[in-house]
Chain A
Amino acid sequence: MQSQRVIFHVDMNAFFASVEQQCNPHLRGKPIVVCGNAKLRTVVAACSYEAKAFGIKNGMSIPEAKLLCPQVIPVGGSSARYVFVSHRIFEILREYTPHVEVFSIDEAFMDMTHTWSLKGHSIEAVGRSIKKQIVKELGLRSSVGMAPNKLLAKLGSNRQKPDGLVRIQMGDIPTLMARLPIEDLCGIGKQLKLALNDLGIFTGADLGAASESMMVKRFGVYGRKMRLMGQGVDYSPVVATASDDSVKSMGHSYTLSSDTSNEETLRGVLLRLSEKVARRLRKKSYCGRTVSLTVRYAGFETRSWQQVQPENVNSGLSIYHAAWRLFMRHSWPLKYRVRLLGVSVSQLNREAQQLNFLDDEVKRRKIDACLDTMSDRFGEFSIVRARALGPLISKTHGFLKPEIERR
Protein backbone atom coordinates (compact mmCIF):
# COMPACT_ATOMS: atom_id res chain seq x y z
CA MET A 1 0.00 0.00 0.00
CA GLN A 2 2.91 2.30 0.85
CA SER A 3 4.13 2.48 -2.77
CA GLN A 4 0.67 3.37 -4.05
CA ARG A 5 0.38 6.66 -2.21
CA VAL A 6 1.08 9.95 -4.00
CA ILE A 7 2.05 12.65 -1.53
CA PHE A 8 3.03 16.22 -2.41
CA HIS A 9 4.88 18.64 -0.18
CA VAL A 10 4.56 22.28 -1.20
CA ASP A 11 7.04 24.68 0.37
CA MET A 12 7.03 28.40 -0.36
CA ASN A 13 10.49 29.80 -0.99
CA ALA A 14 11.72 32.39 1.54
CA PHE A 15 8.04 33.09 2.16
CA PHE A 16 7.93 36.34 4.18
CA ALA A 17 10.69 37.94 2.12
CA SER A 18 9.11 36.81 -1.17
CA VAL A 19 5.76 38.31 -0.15
CA GLU A 20 7.50 41.63 0.57
CA GLN A 21 9.36 41.50 -2.75
CA GLN A 22 6.17 40.66 -4.62
CA CYS A 23 4.34 43.52 -2.90
CA ASN A 24 7.03 46.14 -3.47
CA PRO A 25 8.79 45.86 -6.86
CA HIS A 26 11.61 48.08 -5.54
CA LEU A 27 12.69 45.21 -3.29
CA ARG A 28 12.88 42.57 -6.02
CA GLY A 29 16.33 41.17 -6.71
CA LYS A 30 17.72 42.88 -3.60
CA PRO A 31 19.00 41.46 -0.31
CA ILE A 32 16.18 42.08 2.19
CA VAL A 33 15.47 40.82 5.68
CA VAL A 34 12.04 40.79 7.28
CA CYS A 35 11.99 41.75 10.93
CA GLY A 36 9.48 42.82 13.59
CA ASN A 37 9.98 46.52 13.02
CA ALA A 38 12.52 47.94 10.58
CA LYS A 39 13.23 50.95 12.82
CA LEU A 40 13.52 49.10 16.10
CA ARG A 41 16.13 46.56 17.07
CA THR A 42 14.79 43.16 16.20
CA VAL A 43 16.07 39.92 14.74
CA VAL A 44 15.87 38.58 11.22
CA ALA A 45 12.63 36.62 10.88
CA ALA A 46 13.21 35.77 7.22
CA CYS A 47 15.60 36.71 4.45
CA SER A 48 15.48 36.80 0.68
CA TYR A 49 17.65 34.47 -1.40
CA GLU A 50 19.78 37.50 -2.29
CA ALA A 51 20.41 38.08 1.45
CA LYS A 52 21.06 34.37 2.07
CA ALA A 53 23.82 34.54 -0.54
CA PHE A 54 25.72 36.83 1.86
CA GLY A 55 25.42 34.29 4.68
CA ILE A 56 22.55 36.03 6.47
CA LYS A 57 20.44 33.62 8.49
CA ASN A 58 17.17 33.77 10.41
CA GLY A 59 17.60 34.76 14.05
CA MET A 60 20.58 37.08 13.44
CA SER A 61 20.36 40.62 14.78
CA ILE A 62 20.06 43.41 12.17
CA PRO A 63 23.58 44.75 12.96
CA GLU A 64 24.97 41.22 12.42
CA ALA A 65 23.16 41.04 9.07
CA LYS A 66 24.51 44.47 8.10
CA LEU A 67 28.03 43.37 8.90
CA LEU A 68 27.69 40.56 6.37
CA CYS A 69 25.88 42.71 3.82
CA PRO A 70 25.94 46.50 4.39
CA GLN A 71 23.35 47.12 1.66
CA VAL A 72 20.78 44.72 3.18
CA ILE A 73 17.30 46.30 3.45
CA PRO A 74 15.37 45.63 6.69
CA VAL A 75 11.61 45.47 6.07
CA GLY A 76 9.02 45.59 8.86
CA GLY A 77 6.94 42.41 8.67
CA SER A 78 3.16 42.34 8.36
CA SER A 79 1.64 39.23 9.89
CA ALA A 80 -1.82 40.08 8.45
CA ARG A 81 -0.33 40.06 4.95
CA TYR A 82 1.45 36.71 5.43
CA VAL A 83 -1.54 35.02 7.04
CA PHE A 84 -3.89 36.19 4.25
CA VAL A 85 -1.51 35.06 1.49
CA SER A 86 -0.89 31.77 3.28
CA HIS A 87 -4.64 31.08 3.46
CA ARG A 88 -4.94 31.84 -0.25
CA ILE A 89 -2.13 29.37 -1.04
CA PHE A 90 -3.88 26.63 0.96
CA GLU A 91 -7.15 27.43 -0.86
CA ILE A 92 -5.34 26.86 -4.15
CA LEU A 93 -3.99 23.51 -2.88
CA ARG A 94 -7.50 22.46 -1.83
CA GLU A 95 -8.60 22.88 -5.46
CA TYR A 96 -6.40 19.83 -6.14
CA THR A 97 -7.36 17.65 -3.17
CA PRO A 98 -9.36 18.04 0.04
CA HIS A 99 -6.56 16.24 1.89
CA VAL A 100 -4.28 19.19 2.67
CA GLU A 101 -2.32 19.16 5.92
CA VAL A 102 -1.01 22.59 6.85
CA PHE A 103 2.48 22.00 8.25
CA SER A 104 3.38 25.63 8.89
CA ILE A 105 2.43 29.07 7.57
CA ASP A 106 4.27 28.36 4.28
CA GLU A 107 4.23 24.63 3.74
CA ALA A 108 1.68 21.88 3.41
CA PHE A 109 1.36 18.19 2.59
CA MET A 110 -1.22 17.01 0.07
CA ASP A 111 -2.48 13.46 -0.39
CA MET A 112 -2.94 13.33 -4.18
CA THR A 113 -3.34 9.53 -4.37
CA HIS A 114 -6.91 9.64 -5.66
CA THR A 115 -6.98 13.03 -7.35
CA TRP A 116 -3.76 13.54 -9.31
CA SER A 117 -5.12 11.80 -12.41
CA LEU A 118 -8.08 14.22 -12.48
CA LYS A 119 -5.72 17.18 -12.64
CA GLY A 120 -3.05 16.23 -15.16
CA HIS A 121 -1.58 13.58 -17.41
CA SER A 122 1.29 12.84 -15.04
CA ILE A 123 2.22 13.41 -11.41
CA GLU A 124 4.95 15.85 -12.45
CA ALA A 125 2.46 17.77 -14.64
CA VAL A 126 0.19 18.24 -11.61
CA GLY A 127 3.13 19.52 -9.56
CA ARG A 128 3.98 21.99 -12.31
CA SER A 129 0.35 23.08 -12.52
CA ILE A 130 0.22 23.86 -8.76
CA LYS A 131 3.42 25.91 -8.98
CA LYS A 132 2.13 27.77 -12.02
CA GLN A 133 -1.20 28.62 -10.37
CA ILE A 134 0.51 30.01 -7.26
CA VAL A 135 2.74 32.19 -9.45
CA LYS A 136 -0.22 33.34 -11.56
CA GLU A 137 -2.42 34.30 -8.62
CA LEU A 138 0.14 35.51 -6.10
CA GLY A 139 3.40 35.97 -7.97
CA LEU A 140 5.20 33.64 -5.53
CA ARG A 141 7.54 30.76 -6.23
CA SER A 142 7.36 27.40 -4.50
CA SER A 143 9.17 24.08 -4.38
CA VAL A 144 7.15 20.90 -4.75
CA GLY A 145 8.27 17.45 -3.68
CA MET A 146 6.34 14.39 -4.88
CA ALA A 147 6.82 10.95 -3.35
CA PRO A 148 5.09 7.88 -1.93
CA ASN A 149 5.14 9.30 1.61
CA LYS A 150 5.44 12.55 3.58
CA LEU A 151 9.06 12.03 4.62
CA LEU A 152 10.27 11.66 1.03
CA ALA A 153 7.97 14.39 -0.31
CA LYS A 154 9.47 16.89 2.15
CA LEU A 155 12.94 15.69 1.27
CA GLY A 156 12.06 16.27 -2.38
CA SER A 157 10.91 19.86 -1.92
CA ASN A 158 14.06 20.62 0.11
CA ARG A 159 16.37 19.24 -2.57
CA GLN A 160 15.71 21.96 -5.12
CA LYS A 161 15.25 25.54 -3.96
CA PRO A 162 14.07 27.95 -5.10
CA ASP A 163 11.40 27.00 -7.60
CA GLY A 164 12.02 23.25 -7.47
CA LEU A 165 10.04 20.25 -8.67
CA VAL A 166 11.41 16.90 -7.50
CA ARG A 167 9.83 13.47 -7.63
CA ILE A 168 11.27 10.68 -5.50
CA GLN A 169 10.18 7.10 -6.15
CA MET A 170 10.77 3.98 -4.09
CA GLY A 171 13.46 2.83 -6.50
CA ASP A 172 15.45 6.03 -5.83
CA ILE A 173 15.73 5.38 -2.09
CA PRO A 174 18.98 3.34 -1.90
CA THR A 175 20.97 5.89 -3.96
CA LEU A 176 19.35 8.83 -2.16
CA MET A 177 19.94 7.52 1.36
CA ALA A 178 23.52 6.44 0.68
CA ARG A 179 24.71 10.06 0.66
CA LEU A 180 21.96 11.83 2.57
CA PRO A 181 23.16 13.51 5.80
CA ILE A 182 20.81 12.39 8.58
CA GLU A 183 20.02 15.99 9.56
CA ASP A 184 18.29 16.41 6.19
CA LEU A 185 15.56 14.03 7.37
CA CYS A 186 12.57 15.89 8.84
CA GLY A 187 12.48 15.09 12.56
CA ILE A 188 16.22 14.85 13.16
CA GLY A 189 17.46 18.03 14.79
CA LYS A 190 20.85 19.12 16.12
CA GLN A 191 20.78 17.09 19.34
CA LEU A 192 19.59 13.88 17.68
CA LYS A 193 22.18 14.31 14.95
CA LEU A 194 24.95 14.50 17.55
CA ALA A 195 23.60 11.47 19.41
CA LEU A 196 23.37 9.48 16.17
CA ASN A 197 26.84 10.60 15.08
CA ASP A 198 28.16 9.24 18.41
CA LEU A 199 26.79 5.86 17.33
CA GLY A 200 28.60 6.10 13.99
CA ILE A 201 25.44 7.00 12.07
CA PHE A 202 25.99 9.78 9.54
CA THR A 203 23.87 9.02 6.48
CA GLY A 204 20.33 7.89 5.83
CA ALA A 205 21.72 4.52 4.78
CA ASP A 206 23.63 4.17 8.09
CA LEU A 207 20.40 4.91 9.94
CA GLY A 208 18.37 2.42 7.91
CA ALA A 209 20.95 -0.30 8.50
CA ALA A 210 21.28 0.33 12.27
CA SER A 211 20.26 -2.47 14.62
CA GLU A 212 16.64 -2.07 15.63
CA SER A 213 17.22 -3.28 19.18
CA MET A 214 20.09 -0.82 19.64
CA MET A 215 17.99 2.09 18.28
CA VAL A 216 15.04 1.23 20.53
CA LYS A 217 17.31 0.81 23.54
CA ARG A 218 18.90 4.21 22.94
CA PHE A 219 15.93 6.29 21.67
CA GLY A 220 12.79 4.35 22.66
CA VAL A 221 9.95 4.07 20.13
CA TYR A 222 11.34 7.03 18.20
CA GLY A 223 14.46 4.92 17.53
CA ARG A 224 12.33 2.47 15.57
CA LYS A 225 10.71 5.32 13.65
CA MET A 226 14.09 6.89 12.83
CA ARG A 227 15.42 3.57 11.54
CA LEU A 228 12.42 3.34 9.19
CA MET A 229 13.13 6.95 8.11
CA GLY A 230 16.62 5.83 7.11
CA GLN A 231 14.95 3.24 4.89
CA GLY A 232 12.70 5.90 3.33
CA VAL A 233 9.63 4.45 5.03
CA ASP A 234 6.98 6.68 6.61
CA TYR A 235 3.45 5.46 7.30
CA SER A 236 2.13 8.73 8.72
CA PRO A 237 -1.08 9.87 7.01
CA VAL A 238 -1.83 13.31 5.62
CA VAL A 239 -4.28 14.70 8.16
CA ALA A 240 -6.44 17.34 6.52
CA THR A 241 -6.32 20.58 8.47
CA ALA A 242 -9.86 21.78 8.87
CA SER A 243 -9.80 23.10 12.38
CA ASP A 244 -7.27 24.17 14.97
CA ASP A 245 -8.01 21.32 17.34
CA SER A 246 -4.40 20.21 17.22
CA VAL A 247 -2.91 23.49 18.42
CA LYS A 248 -0.62 22.65 21.32
CA SER A 249 0.53 26.04 22.50
CA MET A 250 0.12 29.75 21.90
CA GLY A 251 2.77 32.32 22.58
CA HIS A 252 4.33 35.65 21.71
CA SER A 253 7.75 37.13 22.15
CA TYR A 254 9.12 40.65 21.90
CA THR A 255 12.61 42.05 21.36
CA LEU A 256 12.95 45.25 23.41
CA SER A 257 14.07 48.38 21.60
CA SER A 258 17.10 48.46 23.91
CA ASP A 259 18.45 46.01 26.49
CA THR A 260 17.00 46.84 29.90
CA SER A 261 16.95 45.83 33.53
CA ASN A 262 14.18 48.31 34.36
CA GLU A 263 11.57 46.40 36.34
CA GLU A 264 8.62 48.54 35.25
CA THR A 265 9.50 48.16 31.57
CA LEU A 266 9.90 44.40 31.93
CA ARG A 267 6.61 44.12 33.81
CA GLY A 268 4.88 46.23 31.14
CA VAL A 269 6.16 44.11 28.27
CA LEU A 270 5.34 40.89 30.08
CA LEU A 271 1.79 42.09 30.79
CA ARG A 272 1.32 43.14 27.17
CA LEU A 273 2.56 39.76 25.93
CA SER A 274 0.36 37.94 28.45
CA GLU A 275 -2.71 39.95 27.41
CA LYS A 276 -2.00 39.17 23.78
CA VAL A 277 -1.66 35.44 24.42
CA ALA A 278 -4.80 35.49 26.59
CA ARG A 279 -6.79 37.32 23.95
CA ARG A 280 -5.88 34.70 21.33
CA LEU A 281 -6.71 31.89 23.74
CA ARG A 282 -10.14 33.37 24.48
CA LYS A 283 -10.85 34.09 20.83
CA LYS A 284 -10.47 30.39 20.09
CA SER A 285 -12.16 29.31 23.33
CA TYR A 286 -8.99 27.79 24.73
CA CYS A 287 -7.44 27.84 28.14
CA GLY A 288 -4.19 26.24 29.20
CA ARG A 289 -2.50 24.71 32.20
CA THR A 290 1.19 25.47 31.67
CA VAL A 291 2.71 28.95 31.47
CA SER A 292 6.20 29.31 29.98
CA LEU A 293 8.55 32.25 30.12
CA THR A 294 11.50 32.83 27.77
CA VAL A 295 14.18 35.41 28.54
CA ARG A 296 17.03 36.32 26.20
CA TYR A 297 19.76 38.32 27.84
CA ALA A 298 22.01 40.97 26.30
CA GLY A 299 24.65 38.35 25.46
CA PHE A 300 22.07 36.30 23.54
CA GLU A 301 21.94 33.61 26.21
CA THR A 302 18.35 32.35 26.15
CA ARG A 303 16.61 30.61 29.04
CA SER A 304 13.10 29.19 29.36
CA TRP A 305 11.14 28.08 32.40
CA GLN A 306 7.64 26.75 32.79
CA GLN A 307 5.20 25.97 35.53
CA VAL A 308 1.94 24.05 35.68
CA GLN A 309 -0.79 26.25 37.12
CA PRO A 310 -3.26 25.07 39.78
CA GLU A 311 -6.07 25.60 37.27
CA ASN A 312 -6.54 26.41 33.60
CA VAL A 313 -5.83 30.01 32.65
CA ASN A 314 -6.89 32.30 29.82
CA SER A 315 -6.80 35.68 31.51
CA GLY A 316 -3.99 38.10 30.78
CA LEU A 317 -3.51 38.90 34.45
CA SER A 318 -3.28 35.24 35.54
CA ILE A 319 -0.74 34.49 32.77
CA TYR A 320 1.20 37.63 33.65
CA HIS A 321 1.31 36.77 37.38
CA ALA A 322 2.54 33.25 36.58
CA ALA A 323 5.17 34.54 34.14
CA TRP A 324 6.36 37.22 36.54
CA ARG A 325 6.67 34.64 39.36
CA LEU A 326 8.87 32.56 37.04
CA PHE A 327 10.91 35.64 36.23
CA MET A 328 11.42 36.54 39.88
CA ARG A 329 12.28 32.98 40.87
CA HIS A 330 14.79 32.24 38.12
CA SER A 331 16.06 35.52 36.75
CA TRP A 332 15.94 38.08 39.57
CA PRO A 333 18.16 39.84 40.56
CA LEU A 334 19.31 40.25 36.99
CA LYS A 335 22.90 39.45 36.13
CA TYR A 336 22.52 40.78 32.60
CA ARG A 337 20.12 43.17 30.96
CA VAL A 338 17.18 41.66 29.08
CA ARG A 339 16.92 41.70 25.31
CA LEU A 340 13.80 39.61 24.63
CA LEU A 341 10.83 38.31 26.59
CA GLY A 342 8.46 35.57 25.49
CA VAL A 343 5.33 34.12 27.07
CA SER A 344 3.43 31.03 26.00
CA VAL A 345 0.66 28.84 27.31
CA SER A 346 0.52 25.11 26.61
CA GLN A 347 -1.47 22.02 27.64
CA LEU A 348 -4.41 23.66 25.94
CA ASN A 349 -7.99 22.53 26.18
CA ARG A 350 -11.38 23.94 25.32
CA GLU A 351 -12.71 26.18 28.11
CA ALA A 352 -12.38 23.65 30.89
CA GLN A 353 -12.23 26.32 33.55
CA GLN A 354 -13.71 25.56 36.92
CA LEU A 355 -16.76 27.52 37.85
CA ASN A 356 -15.58 30.09 40.30
CA PHE A 357 -17.86 32.17 42.43
CA LEU A 358 -15.21 34.26 44.18
CA ASP A 359 -15.93 37.94 43.76
CA ASP A 360 -12.50 38.76 42.35
CA GLU A 361 -12.64 35.99 39.78
CA VAL A 362 -16.14 36.94 38.62
CA LYS A 363 -15.02 40.56 38.39
CA ARG A 364 -11.88 39.57 36.46
CA ARG A 365 -13.91 37.61 33.91
CA LYS A 366 -16.30 40.53 33.48
CA ILE A 367 -13.35 42.83 32.81
CA ASP A 368 -11.88 40.38 30.27
CA ALA A 369 -15.24 40.11 28.51
CA CYS A 370 -15.51 43.90 28.41
CA LEU A 371 -11.94 44.25 27.04
CA ASP A 372 -12.69 41.61 24.40
CA THR A 373 -15.83 43.44 23.28
CA MET A 374 -13.89 46.69 22.91
CA SER A 375 -11.04 45.02 21.05
CA ASP A 376 -13.52 43.28 18.72
CA ARG A 377 -15.15 46.60 17.91
CA PHE A 378 -12.19 48.98 17.77
CA GLY A 379 -9.21 46.75 17.09
CA GLU A 380 -6.58 44.92 19.11
CA PHE A 381 -5.21 46.85 22.06
CA SER A 382 -7.52 49.81 21.60
CA ILE A 383 -7.73 49.54 25.39
CA VAL A 384 -4.96 48.23 27.64
CA ARG A 385 -4.09 48.09 31.31
CA ALA A 386 -2.12 51.12 32.47
CA ARG A 387 0.98 49.08 33.30
CA ALA A 388 1.21 47.96 29.66
CA LEU A 389 1.37 51.55 28.40
CA GLY A 390 5.16 51.76 28.60
CA PRO A 391 6.93 54.12 26.21
CA LEU A 392 9.20 51.32 24.97
CA ILE A 393 6.34 49.10 23.96
CA SER A 394 5.33 49.25 20.35
CA LYS A 395 1.58 49.02 19.83
CA THR A 396 1.41 47.07 16.64
CA HIS A 397 4.91 46.01 15.75
CA GLY A 398 7.22 43.44 17.15
CA PHE A 399 4.54 41.45 18.87
CA LEU A 400 4.67 38.89 16.12
CA LYS A 401 3.86 35.30 16.82
CA PRO A 402 7.23 33.63 17.27
CA GLU A 403 5.94 30.90 15.05
CA ILE A 404 2.66 29.61 13.82
CA GLU A 405 0.93 27.73 16.62
CA ARG A 406 2.96 24.61 17.35
CA ARG A 407 1.16 21.49 16.22
Chain B
Amino acid sequence: MSTKIKESIRVGALFEKGRVRPVWFMWQSRRYAIREVTLYWQDRQGTDLQSHFGVHAEGGFFELMLNHISLCWWLMQAEQD
Protein backbone atom coordinates (compact mmCIF):
# COMPACT_ATOMS: atom_id res chain seq x y z
CA MET B 1 0.00 0.00 0.00
CA SER B 2 1.55 3.29 -0.98
CA THR B 3 1.73 6.09 1.58
CA LYS B 4 1.48 9.79 0.86
CA ILE B 5 4.61 11.54 2.16
CA LYS B 6 5.08 15.06 0.67
CA GLU B 7 8.47 15.74 2.21
CA SER B 8 11.23 17.95 0.82
CA ILE B 9 14.26 15.78 -0.01
CA ARG B 10 17.73 15.89 -1.58
CA VAL B 11 17.99 14.35 -5.03
CA GLY B 12 20.93 13.72 -7.32
CA ALA B 13 19.87 14.18 -10.95
CA LEU B 14 21.31 14.22 -14.45
CA PHE B 15 20.34 17.03 -16.78
CA GLU B 16 21.04 15.99 -20.36
CA LYS B 17 19.58 16.63 -23.81
CA GLY B 18 16.93 18.89 -22.30
CA ARG B 19 15.74 16.19 -19.93
CA VAL B 20 16.14 15.61 -16.24
CA ARG B 21 16.63 12.14 -14.76
CA PRO B 22 16.82 11.54 -11.00
CA VAL B 23 19.63 9.09 -10.11
CA TRP B 24 19.47 8.91 -6.32
CA PHE B 25 17.67 10.50 -3.40
CA MET B 26 18.11 10.80 0.36
CA TRP B 27 15.22 10.02 2.66
CA GLN B 28 15.24 9.31 6.40
CA SER B 29 19.06 9.34 6.39
CA ARG B 30 19.19 6.64 3.74
CA ARG B 31 20.49 6.98 0.20
CA TYR B 32 18.30 5.28 -2.40
CA ALA B 33 19.79 4.45 -5.82
CA ILE B 34 17.18 4.71 -8.57
CA ARG B 35 17.04 1.62 -10.79
CA GLU B 36 14.38 2.78 -13.22
CA VAL B 37 12.23 5.80 -13.93
CA THR B 38 8.95 3.97 -14.51
CA LEU B 39 6.80 6.94 -15.53
CA TYR B 40 7.25 10.66 -16.11
CA TRP B 41 4.50 13.27 -16.20
CA GLN B 42 3.95 16.95 -15.58
CA ASP B 43 1.22 19.04 -14.07
CA ARG B 44 0.68 22.56 -12.79
CA GLN B 45 -0.05 23.87 -9.34
CA GLY B 46 -1.22 27.37 -10.19
CA THR B 47 1.59 28.89 -12.25
CA ASP B 48 4.18 26.40 -10.97
CA LEU B 49 5.18 23.66 -13.41
CA GLN B 50 5.91 20.36 -11.67
CA SER B 51 7.64 17.27 -13.05
CA HIS B 52 6.73 13.94 -11.47
CA PHE B 53 8.80 10.77 -11.62
CA GLY B 54 7.59 7.31 -10.70
CA VAL B 55 10.80 5.56 -9.70
CA HIS B 56 11.74 2.03 -8.81
CA ALA B 57 14.57 2.17 -6.28
CA GLU B 58 16.21 -0.21 -3.85
CA GLY B 59 13.56 -0.63 -1.23
CA GLY B 60 10.44 0.04 -3.23
CA PHE B 61 8.42 2.37 -5.43
CA PHE B 62 8.55 6.13 -4.92
CA GLU B 63 7.10 9.21 -6.55
CA LEU B 64 9.45 12.19 -6.74
CA MET B 65 8.43 15.68 -7.79
CA LEU B 66 10.53 18.60 -9.02
CA ASN B 67 9.02 22.06 -8.76
CA HIS B 68 10.40 24.03 -11.72
CA ILE B 69 9.98 27.40 -10.00
CA SER B 70 11.46 26.70 -6.56
CA LEU B 71 13.81 23.98 -7.94
CA CYS B 72 12.96 21.92 -4.86
CA TRP B 73 12.53 18.16 -4.95
CA TRP B 74 9.76 16.44 -3.00
CA LEU B 75 9.06 12.85 -2.11
CA MET B 76 5.33 12.58 -2.77
CA GLN B 77 4.61 8.93 -1.99
CA ALA B 78 6.38 5.72 -1.11
CA GLU B 79 5.58 2.04 -1.20
CA GLN B 80 8.34 0.09 0.44
CA ASP B 81 9.10 -3.58 -0.20
Say yes or no: B61 contacts A25, CB within 8 Å: yes
Say yes or no: A377 contacts B41, CB within 8 Å: no
Count residues of chain A with CB under 8 A from any CB of chain B.
Answer: 18
Rounded to whole angstroms, the CA-CA distance of A250 and B47 in the bound complex is 23
B72 to chain A, nearest CB (A): 16
Say yes or no: B39 contacts A22, CB within 8 Å: yes
Q: Take A24-B79, A81-B52 as given contacts and tell me if A19 and B39 are in contact as well, using a CB distance cutoff of 8 Å.
A: yes
Interface hits, B26-81 → A, CB 8 Å: 36, 38-39, 41-47, 52, 54, 56, 60-61, 63, 79
Say yes or no: B46 contacts A24, CB within 8 Å: no
Residue A80 lies at the interface, judged by CB distance under 8 Å to chain B: yes
Interface hits, A131-174 → B, CB 8 Å: 138-139
Residue A23 lies at the interface, judged by CB distance under 8 Å to chain B: yes
Residue A378 lies at the interface, judged by CB distance under 8 Å to chain B: yes
Which residues of chain B are within 8 angstroms of A26 by Cβ–Cβ distance?
2, 60-61, 79
Say yes or no: B39 contacts A379, CB within 8 Å: no
Residue A382 lies at the interface, judged by CB distance under 8 Å to chain B: yes
Which residues of chain B are within 8 angstroms of A376 by Cβ–Cβ distance?
46-47
Q: Which of B38, B46, B61 meets A139, CB within 8 Å?
A: B38
Residue A371 lies at the interface, judged by CB distance under 8 Å to chain B: no
Q: Which of A24, A81, A138, A377 meets B47, CB within 8 Å?
A: A377
Which residues of chain A are within 8 angstroms of B60 by Cβ–Cβ distance?
26
Q: Take A24-B2, A26-B60 as given contacts and tell me if A80 and B46 are in contact as well, using a CB distance cutoff of 8 Å.
A: no
Which residues of chain B are within 8 angstroms of A241 by Cβ–Cβ distance?
none
The chain B residue with its CB closest to the CB of A85 is B41
Say yes or no: B41 contacts A80, CB within 8 Å: yes
Say yes or no: B46 contacts A378, CB within 8 Å: yes
Rounded to whole angstroms, the CA-CA distance of A376 and B39 in the bound complex is 26
Rounded to whole angstroms, the CA-CA distance of A22 and B53 in the bound complex is 12
Which residues of chain A are within 8 angstroms of B38 by Cβ–Cβ distance?
22-25, 139
Q: Which of B42, B46, B52, B56 meets A379, CB within 8 Å?
A: B46
Rounded to whole angstroms, the CA-CA distance of A24 and B44 in the bound complex is 22
The chain A residue with its CB closest to the CB of B54 is A23
Rounded to whole angstroms, the CA-CA distance of A238 and B38 in the bound complex is 33
Rounded to whole angstroms, the CA-CA distance of A382 and B46 in the bound complex is 9
Chain A 176-193, CB within 8 Å of chain B: the 1/0 string? Answer: 000000000000000000
Rounded to whole angstroms, the CA-CA distance of A80 and B49 in the bound complex is 12
Say yes or no: A84 contacts B56, CB within 8 Å: no
Chain B 6-17, CB within 8 Å of chain A: the 1/0 string? Answer: 000000000000
Which residues of chain A are within 8 angstroms of B79 by Cβ–Cβ distance?
24, 26
Say yes or no: B56 contacts A81, CB within 8 Å: no
Rounded to whole angstroms, the CA-CA distance of A382 and B54 in the bound complex is 26
Residue A347 lies at the interface, judged by CB distance under 8 Å to chain B: no
The chain A residue with its CB closest to the CB of B1 is A73
A282 to chain B, nearest CB (A): 16
A76 to chain B, nearest CB (A): 9
Residue A318 lies at the interface, judged by CB distance under 8 Å to chain B: no
Say yes or no: A377 contacts B46, CB within 8 Å: yes
A284 to chain B, nearest CB (A): 15
Say yes or no: B54 contacts A84, CB within 8 Å: no
Say yes or no: B46 contacts A84, CB within 8 Å: no
Residue A113 lies at the interface, judged by CB distance under 8 Å to chain B: no
Say yes or no: B41 contacts A139, CB within 8 Å: no
Say yes or no: B39 contacts A81, CB within 8 Å: yes
A363 to chain B, nearest CB (A): 25
Rounded to whole angstroms, the CA-CA distance of A23 and B63 in the bound complex is 9
Residues of B within 8 A of A (CB): 2, 36, 38-39, 41-47, 52, 54, 56, 60-61, 63, 79
Q: A26-B60, A378-B46 are in contact. List 16 more A-B contacts (CB 8 A).
A: A22-B39, A23-B38, A23-B63, A24-B2, A25-B56, A25-B61, A26-B79, A80-B41, A81-B39, A81-B52, A84-B42, A139-B38, A376-B47, A377-B46, A378-B45, A379-B44
Smallest CB-CB A-B distances: 10 pairs = A80-B43, A23-B54, A84-B41, A23-B39, A379-B46, A378-B46, A379-B45, A24-B61, A81-B41, A377-B46
**Could you show 19 A-B contacts with beta carbons less than 8 Å apart?**
A22-B38, A23-B54, A24-B38, A24-B61, A25-B38, A25-B61, A26-B2, A80-B41, A81-B41, A81-B43, A81-B52, A84-B41, A85-B39, A85-B41, A139-B39, A377-B46, A378-B45, A379-B44, A379-B45
